[in-house]
Structure 1
Amino acid sequence: MGFYLRQRTIQSAISLLGLIVLVFFLARLTGNPADLFLPADTPQAIRDEYAARHGFDQPVIVQFGAYLMDLLRLDFGESLRDGTPALDYVLAAFPTTLLLSFWAMTISLTIAIVTGSVAAWHPGGVFDRIASLISLTGASIPNFWIAIVGVLVFSVWMRVLPTSGTGTPWHWILPVAVLFIRPCGVLVQVVRSSMLAAFASPYVKTARARGVRERAVIFVHALRNAMLPIITVAGDQAAGMINGAVIAETIFGFPGIGKLLIDAIMFRDFAVIQAAVMITAIAIFILNIGIDLLYSMLDPRVRHG
């Protein structure tokens, strides 16, 4: 297990380095920050002084080298907007995104496991057909469409939910719904397929022959052995929620990492962009390693070498 952890850590570090290079140079392609932070009629001398103060007067490769040296000291740079350390912005916004993703993923898994298991227990029945139709529809609808329709129906027409903010639990309903509907639809299909295979296995037939209660057969014998593919897809969906968070947080004014990243791109705030992407990538790498470790806990046959 120790060898596996070292191997995955090295692989993650290489991927992270490649991401750092990509984000750094792509961010510079968005243009000169001075065009946004300085008036159009600003004298060239002031523009040159602004560029020198932030290191933009150096060649890009030199800027990149300086950025790498700062990273080794855990210095992510300062925001161009107000001089606040970029890492402070990211650490202040990231917990909101984590909490939003946690609730969305928890609801998705709970609904998917129950719905998919019951649908697989009687394949082809009325419940199975209805669940398959709804889950396929949910898995196919884009997040931005759900968000827009949600605001239109529940905020504009019915006036029962707020359009933005985080002040009360009611403010969380639409953002969480936007994030959980699509993953839930995908997971229902995965749970159903995994449970169908589990129900046809010998150990389930043996449990039935021994008179084990139906609920125990479904949620103990079958579900535990069907969890590996479910965890795999759930991990991918959890990592993909960061993309959905960008849409949800922007539309609903949620102060999370997604909205912070969009604002930083619009203002060409390079340090904040780089810090947000790096912290998000590290969180995803840790999530993936945790999922792989969970495999060995659920199935002793899984060995990492």
Structure 2
Amino acid sequence: MRAFLGKRALASLISLLGLIILVFFLSRLTGDPTSLYLPLDASLEARENFREINGLNDPLLVQFGRYMADLAVLDFGDSIRRSEPALDVVLRAFVWTLQLAAITMTLVTVAAIVIGSLAAFHVGGLFDRIATFFSLIGASAPDFWIAIVAIVTISLNVAFIPTSGTGTVWHWILPVGVLFIRPFGLILQVVRSSMITTLGAAYVKTARAKGVKNKSVIFVHALRNALLPVITVIGDQAAALLNGAVVVETIFGFPGVGKLMIDSILQRDFTVVLAAIFVTAIAIFVMNLIIDILYAVLDPRIRY
């Protein structure tokens, strides 16, 4: 088990390093932030002082070497715009994104497993057709389009559901609802397909022949063996949710790391952009590691 997890962790570390290098150099292509933070009539001396304070005067490779040395001790530098540690800025925003993702994925996982399992048990029936129809629509619809339609059709007609902010529970309805639809449709389809195969296995037929209740057949005998492909998709969708939250958070003005990342790119706040990418990537890698552990628990053969 240790060797298995060690290989996964090493692969994640290499990917993280490559991501940091790529983002560092690409972020510099957005331009010099000096023109954004100083008046147009600022003197040449003021511009040089600004660049010197923020380490922008040095050659790009020197800046990269200094950044990697600081990163080794988890020092991301200060935000140019906010004049406070970039990591603190990102972690405050990431808490909001983590709550949004956790609530959404909990609802998605429970709903998709229950409805997908029942649809597989009644395959070809009315319930299965309805569930399949709506899941396919949900899996095909892009988040940004759903968000815009939700604002136009719901918020303009239902006064107590706001379109931005986080002040009350009503503020969470639209972001959670929009992020719910796509992963729900994808996971439900995988649950349904996997459960149809598992329900056709000999041991399940034997359990049903012995008079075991349908509820036990579905959720005790069949579900565990059908979970491996489902866990893969849940992990992929959880990671995609963190990425997809960038668009949804921006549309609904939700103060998460996605909106922070977009704002920081537009503001050329390089330290915050890199810190946001780092924290998000770590969260995704940890999530993938947890999925690998669940794999090994559900199927011991994977450990070897």
Q: Same fold (TM over 0.5)?
A: yes
Q: Counterpart of 1:3? A: 3
Normalised to the residue count of structure 1, the TM-score between the two structures is 0.98
Whether the 8 Å contact between 1:117 and 1:195 is mirrored in structure 2 is: yes
Identify the range of structure 1 (76-85 vs 1-10) with the bigger mean alpha-carbon deviation: 1-10
Matched, 1:105 2:100: no
Q: Counterpart of 2:184? A: 184
Matches within 5 A, 1:189-228: 189-228=189-228
Q: Provide the C-alpha distance between the structure 2 equivalents of 1:38 and 1:171, rounded to a whole number of angstroms.
A: 36
Whether the 8 Å contact between 1:154 and 1:160 is mirrored in structure 2 is: no
**1:127 CA drift (Å):** 1.1
Q: Counterpart of 2:27? A: 27
Matches within 5 A, 1:1-305: 1-304=1-304
Q: What do residues 208-236 of structure 1 show as CA deviations (whole Å, max 9, x unaligned)?
A: 12211011001111111100000000000
Q: Provide the C-alpha distance between the structure 1 equivalents of 2:251 and 2:284, rounded to a whole number of angstroms.
A: 23
Whether the 8 Å contact between 1:296 and 1:302 is mirrored in structure 2 is: yes
Whether the 8 Å contact between 1:155 and 1:163 is mirrored in structure 2 is: yes
Counterpart residue type for residue 235 of structure 1? G
Counterpart residue type for residue 195 of structure 2? M
Normalised to the residue count of structure 2, the TM-score between the two structures is 0.98
Q: What do residues 37-74 of structure 1 show as CA deviations (whole Å, max 9, x unaligned)?
A: 11122122211111111111111000000000111121
Q: Provide the C-alpha distance between the structure 2 equivalents of 1:44 and 1:303, rounded to a whole number of angstroms.
A: 62
Counterpart residue type for residue 74 of structure 2? L
What is the aligned-residue identity percentage? 59
Corresponding residue SS for 2:160: coil
Whether the 8 Å contact between 2:164 and 2:254 is mirrored in structure 1 is: yes
Whether the 8 Å contact between 2:261 and 2:276 is mirrored in structure 1 is: yes
Whether the 8 Å contact between 1:117 and 1:218 is mirrored in structure 2 is: yes
Q: Provide the C-alpha distance between the structure 2 equivalents of 1:177 and 1:244, rounded to a whole number of angstroms.
A: 13
Q: Provide the C-alpha distance between the structure 2 equivalents of 1:119 and 1:17, rounded to a whole number of angstroms.
A: 43
**Root-mean-square deviation over aligned CA pairs:** 1.0
**1:137 CA drift (Å):** 0.2
Is there any run of 5+ residues in structure 2 with no aligned partner, and where?
A: none
**1:83 CA drift (Å):** 1.4
Corresponding residue SS for 1:226: helix
Corresponding residue SS for 2:183: helix
